[in-house]
Amino acid sequence: MTDATTTPPLVHEVLAAVLQVRQGSLQVLLWERALEPHANRWSLPGGRLRADEDVETSIRRQLAEKVDVRQVSHVEQLAVFSAPDRVPGPRVLATAFLCLVPSHMDPELPGDTAWQPVSALPETAFDHGAIVLRARNRLRAKLSYTNIGFALTPPVFTISALRSLYSAALGYKVSATNLQRVLSRRGLLEATGDTARPGRAGGRPAAEFRFADSTMSVTDPFAVLKPPPADRNG
């Protein structure tokens, strides 16, 4: 029998909040539980940490094995979730990761797994909904002061397409002109010299760009992207 001063058995799991901009919205990869506890609720992919691996190795392995997400463009540790009662039964410590998939990728998924809009999550298991929101907030913050936008985009893009991706991730409309000015001033964008094919409506071909670096770095530690005044209370 244990008391409050006795160290209980501790299980360590890793979880991935895999985010991607799909169909104009920021979405997260979830799988539907078939068994109790929390049967039929939606969970983040992940599982137990093996004795012979570190946490990042573990989450990359489990993503590849369980949901066939092999083209993750960015992985970073998000937070440790350690509330004693976060799951029923023996205590389980969770190390959660933020993972990003570029918008042009469409990974093959098992039948019990689906992309879900972050703004309208289904009923989630345990504390997984809170982890998703923490991941969303981390992404939004880093879009302000790092070059992490590279992890959301295809290799080349127009400014209009980039604006759409940033708007979806941030949750409010972004000015294409301001976005280009800010990212160009920081040296994050470079022109490819090519133009995109005109759409059905025709018009002038749009110039194509790419991110100058695909390694995450802090570009302006004091920058904060903010929604227009009318949207801040929305």
- Is pLDDT at 111 greater than 90 in this prediction? yes
Where in the chain are all domains bearing CATH 3.90.79.10? 10-134
Measured distance CA(102)–CA(143) in Å, rounded: 14
Residue 197: burial class (beta carbons within 10 Å; 0-12, 13-18, 19+): exposed
Where in the chain are all domains bearing CATH 1.10.10.10? 146-231
- Is pLDDT at 202 greater than 70 in this prediction? no
The structural architecture, per CATH, of the domain 10-134 is Alpha-Beta Complex (3.90)
Percent of the chain whose pLDDT exceeds 90: 79
CATH 1.20.140.10 fits 146-231, yes or no: no
50-79 tens-digit pLDDT: 999 999 999 999 999 887 777 899 999 999
- Is pLDDT at 46 greater than 70 in this prediction? yes
142-183 tens-digit pLDDT: 999 999 999 999 999 999 999 999 999 999 999 999 999 999
- Is pLDDT at 4 greater than 60 in this prediction? no
pLDDT, mean of residues 38-42: 96
Q: Rounded to two decimals, what is the model's pTM? A: 0.90
Identify the bridge partners of residue 146 per DSSP, sorted by sequence position: 218
Residue 231 — very low, low, confident or very high, per pLDDT cuts 50/70/90? low
Average pLDDT, the chain: 91
Measured distance CA(196)–CA(198) in Å, rounded: 6
- Is pLDDT at 6 greater than 70 in this prediction? no
- Kindly report the three-state secondary structure assignment for every residue of the chain: CCCCCCCCCEEEEEEEEEEEEECCEEEEEEEECCCCCCCCCEECCEEECCCCCCHHHHHHHHHHHHHCCCCCCEEEEEEEECCCCCCCCCEEEEEEEEEECCCCCCCCCCCCEEEEEHHHCCCECCCHHHHHHHHHHHHHHHHHHECHHHHCCCCCEEHHHHHHHHHHHHCCCCCHHHHHHHHHHCCCEEEEEEECCCECCECCCCEEEEECCCCCCECCCCCCCCCCHHHCCC
